[in-house]
Structure 1
Amino acid sequence: MSKIVSLFSYPLKSGRGNELQEALGDKNGLYGDRHLVVLNQSDASLFSLRDNPVLSDISITQCNKGVSVTTGDTQTFIECSFDRALQAKIWSRSVAVNIASDAVNDFFSDLLSAEVYLAEQHQSMFQTLMDTGPVHILSLSDLNKLKDMCDLSDLDPRIFRPNIVVDTLDFMGGTIPDALEINGCKFTVVETTERCNAVSIMHKKIHGLNASNIVSTLNRASKFKGPYFGVYLRAEKQFSMKVGDSVKTHQLNLEQI
């Protein structure tokens, strides 16, 4: 039986992750995960770490009167509100958001060298600003196989920006479970992990490399099929989980269909 070895949340989409010992959430995802986003002012489309890798260094915390933004060793508090409604484009999704005050938008525009907004997810939205399923899980055992396939000495799981990292699930084996169970809550598998250039960007950034062969290796090995390093999940109800919790897999019994 597999166990959780790490938990992460990302308050700002494409921003710095927070490592957790315990996580709470529901069918919409982890509470506090990916509820803030940076958007291009020109068309309200997503501004991500693909546009500027500096975004992945930014940590942000909301409070009653504004936001606290941390980049490196510098922390900046900015008074603001989120009261201007807008429809944003997050890849193929149209998402209701509220735009921050001008002072915050000016701060982020200067920081990222682009005309951008900071926005928060509207409370009516049904899940976090994750691109697909609201919770992302991957396995260290698969990452070790991938590391060998790519002839790498080390491979940090954070390059895939997971919420849950477990020790021994075998997604690379080719059999994807229909569901997982963690601490009494069932999580349906929504789809397999996407492979995109953000993975390569984070690999080069975290490991200090000039080039990355991860995505090309994954595509060749899978023939563009299969997860190889994770799946997206959706919880059936409210949940709590912590590092060390067991993870059970569930396969659909075809005789019951």
Structure 2
Amino acid sequence: MLRLSALYRYPLKSGKAESLQHSGLDKLGLDGDRRWMLVDEASGRFLTQRAVTKMSQLSALWNSAGGLTLSSPGHTSLDVPLPDEDAALRGVTIWRDTPRLPDAGDAAAAWVSEFVGAPTRLVHMPLKRARTTQSGYGRDDDQVALADGYPLLLIGQASLEDLSEKVGRPMEMLRFRPNLVIEGADAFAEDGWKRLRIGDVEFRVVKPCARCILTTIDPRTGERSADREPFATLNGYRKTEDGAMFGQNLVNDGVGHLEVGMPVTILE
């Protein structure tokens, strides 16, 4: 039987994961997932572990009021309230999108600037300012918050085990930053899925996930793998013309609730 074996939320884009036992779903995916982002103060361009590797050690815990608690070793924690969705808008750039998003204020900016080591701002993505997903995949009205492209990422547990065997050592699931982990299927069975249901919510599989050098960052230490694993192995046996694929991007049709242990039904 297929089951949901793990749930992860990333309140801050490229920050540490929160492991969840249950979560609500709104139209942008898991409640609170990737609704916050660091940007360069001068340019407004988004920051991730690609440029700031130590973001893997930045904890940003989401609370039910929508705010964050920022913490990291060597830094005093800071509670950041949810900013007014129409106040202090800041122009930012995330890939090809240039939304105007609420700025979290000077106290948050001072904290994240000290952490990054350069002038940085913290911004929030309210529901009404959501981006549209990549053209040509899914539906024209599909939306996403601050994830790279889509609201949700799914990975099969057996797929990770297959990759770990080929690499020659265990690979941490969090190197790949999924939201949903499915247990009970064959390795890479998710490549053939088109629609599935978990609880009362249906999901569409819209696009495989092309992986990048971020997979070489150890989520526990923030250090890059000297041998470029598992990215090197993925390039060896999962390479396509669009990149090395691992995991599937999903869009949820409707809102609802997920809980670890729920059965998963493949509809198509």
TM-score tier after normalising by the smaller chain length: 0.7 to 0.9
Q: Cα–Cα, structure 1 residues 208 and 43, in superposed 2: closer, same or farther, change >3 Å? A: closer
The code of the aligned residue for 1:92 comes to R
Given candidates 163, 166, 184, the residue that maps to 2:200 is 184
Distance 1:26-1:169 versus aligned 2 partners, 3 A rule: farther
Distance change in 2, residues 1:68/1:174 (3 Å): closer
8 Å Cα contact 1:78/1:103 also seen in 2: no
Give deviations 1:74-126, integer Å, cap 9, x for gaps: 54235667331123211223333111212221221111112211111133114
1:207-222 alignment to 2 at 5 Å?
209-222=225-238
Aligned equivalents of 2:230, 2:68: Cα separation in 1: 36
Q: Is the 8 A contact 1:81 1:101 kept in 2?
A: no
Corresponding position of 1:71: 72
Equivalent position SS for 1:118 = strand
* Residue 165 of structure 1: aligned partner: 181
Equivalent residues of 1:141, 1:170 under 8 A apart: yes
* Cα distance between partner residues in 2 of 1:62 and 1:250: 32
**Structure 2: gaps spanning 5 or more residues:** 131-142
Deviates most, 31-40 or 224-233: 224-233
> 4+ runs of 1 displaced by more than 6 Å?
none
Letter in 2 for 1:184: D
Partners of 1:113 and 1:206 in 2: CA distance: 16
1:174 Cα deviation (Å)?
Answer: 8.0
* Equivalent in the alignment of 1:201: 217
**CA contact under 8 A between 2:160 and 2:173: conserved in structure 1?**
yes
State the one-letter code of the partner of 1:28.
Answer: L
Count of residue pairs the alignment pairs up:
250
User: What is the RMSD of the two structures over their aligned residues, measured on CA atoms?
Assistant: 2.7
Quote the residue 2:146 is aligned against. 129
Judging changes above 3 Å, is the alpha-carbon distance between structure 1 residues 197 and 235 closer, same or farther for their aligned structure 2 residues? same
Comparing 234-243 and 71-80, the one that deviates more: 71-80
Deviations 1:178-226 (A, max 9, x none): 1111112210012111201111124694688433322222122123268
Question: What TM-score does the superposition give when structure 2 sets the normalisation length?
Answer: 0.83
Partner of 2:265: 248
Look up the equivalent residue of 1:96 and give its one-letter code: R
Are 1:233 and 2:250 an aligned pair?
yes
Cα distance in 2 for partners of 1:194, 1:228 equals 5
What SS does the corresponding residue of 1:100 show, helix, strand or coil?
A: coil
What residue is the counterpart of 1:105 in the other structure? 109
User: Counterpart of 1:3?
Assistant: 3
* TM-superposed deviation, 1:162: 0.9
2:33 corresponds to which residue? 33
On the 8 A contact 2:22/2:258 being kept in 1, the answer is yes
Post-superposition Cα deviations, 1:15-41, rounded to whole Å, max 9, x if no partner, equal 111111001113311111111100011
Change in Cα spacing, 1:233 to 1:78, as seen in structure 2 (3 Å) is closer
Identity %: 24
Q: Secondary structure at the match of 2:205?
A: strand
Q: Contact 2:154–2:249 (CA<8 Å) still a contact in 1?
A: yes
CA contact (8 A) 2:32 2:62 kept: no
What's the offset of the Cα at 1:130? 0.9
